[in-house]
Amino acid sequence: MGQILVRKIDDAILERLKLLAKERNVPVEALARSALEEAAQRKTNEEMRGWLDRLAELRAMTPKKGLDSVPLIRKLREGDDSDD
């Protein structure tokens, strides 16, 4: 497994990490590792653009005007379930 060394961490941040680690009963290293794993799981800008492009494609396929369901409901109430 790889390793990194993080330098120039603000003292207040380090103290906060130590406090959080103590509350959770885990080493600071485990807390930092967890934060790094979470950050690595976030979508990149390119991935987000892909999702947004796909969403735009789906929107384009969606009819702009909704279908009126009233005639269909009336037919079903009258017992006519055939597809016209």
22-25's contacts with Cβ under 8 Å and 24+ in sequence apart are none
Q: Which two tokens stand for residue 5?
A: 């060394």
pLDDT for 29-57, tens place per residue? 999 999 999 999 999 999 999 999 999 99
Instruction: Name the pTM for this structure.
Output: 0.56
Higher pLDDT, 56 or 67: 56
Q: What percent of the chain has pLDDT over 90?
A: 69
pLDDT, residue 84, reads 55
What DSSP line would sit under 6-69, residue for residue? -----HHHHHHHHHHHHHHTS-HHHHHHHHHHHHHHSPPHHHHHHHHHHHHHHHHHS-SS----
